[in-house]
Structure 1
Amino acid sequence: MRRRVTGVLVVTVAAGLLTVGGPAVGRADAAAGACAGTRVKTYGFATGEVRVHRNGSYVCAMTVAKRPGVRQRMRVGVQARGSRAAVDSGTYARRAGPVTVYARARCVRVEGAVAGRGTASGWILC
């Protein structure tokens, strides 16, 4: 019984470390909590803002709350034309995202929301 509990504990800890420290698909520079590259657009709205960054052929976006520290529903999405959107949605205290898409020579659109209020762009960065 003791071996079984120890084995389960080891697997659980390893899975947790991989989740925290492993590569994040659809995220840019997740360890630092920010998008890589240069900020190219910012879309403000009543409860926050969506920040859009470009790094070579990749576009990254994140939604940042105006009132950090208060847990609230947040969402960010970025979509390259002709591809599926990368989306991060949940209850966060500071920001949703970052999410990244490959967008070489393609337009993208972004959207973000905090506490039910948000914004969406048209096709940008064409």
Structure 2
Amino acid sequence: MDSGARGRRLRRRLALGAAVLAVSGAFTFTATGAAQAAGAAGGCAGREVRTLPFKTGVTHVYQSNAYVCAVTVPRNPGAARTMSVSVQARGNRPVVDKGRYRYHAGPVTVHAGHRCVWIKGAVGRYATSSGWILC
């Protein structure tokens, strides 16, 4: 195995570890009132700053301090179907949750600081994309 492949694998593992720490840190600072709102949002902390509706669902975007979180919810929950949600801070790779879910995809949280973010969400074959927002 060459050193380039080994370096890429190490960077992927470090990025995953940083994402796990960011998510756990975001949940640690959740206050009781925000925790109740987070339960309804599928696990996102903070205040809702955008709603991105599309034909088969809605992607909700939340912001708390320097963190941005998103969750995609189908219009008709219950049946398992392909769903996804992604959040990308400008200059970084997107963090994605994609799979077959019944009630929601996500939450996906990233540390954005003061950078713009790009949010995408999909349920089935219909999707939404925000463009660069929250700049």
Q: When the two structures are superposed, what TM-score results if normalisation uses the length of structure 1?
A: 0.76
Structure 2 portions without partners, runs of 5+: 1-18, 28-37
Superposed CA RMSD in Å reads 1.7
Q: Note the residue ranges of structure 1 that are not aligned, 5 or more in a row.
A: 1-23
Runs of 4+ in 1 over 3 A off after TM superposition: 26-29
Alignment of 1:56-75 (within 5 A): 56-75=65-84
Write the distance in 2 (CA, Å) between the matches of 1:43 and 1:57: 20
Aligned pairs, number = 102
Residue in 1 aligned with 2:106?
97
- Equivalent residue of 2:84, what SS? strand
Alignment deviations for residues 57-95 of structure 1 (CA, whole Å, 9 cap, x no partner): 000001000010010000000000001111000000010
- Take 2:45 and 2:88, find their aligned partners in 1: how far apart are those partners? 17
TM-score by length of 2: 0.71
Which structure is larger by alpha-carbon Rg, 1 or 2?
Answer: 1
Report % sequence identity: 53
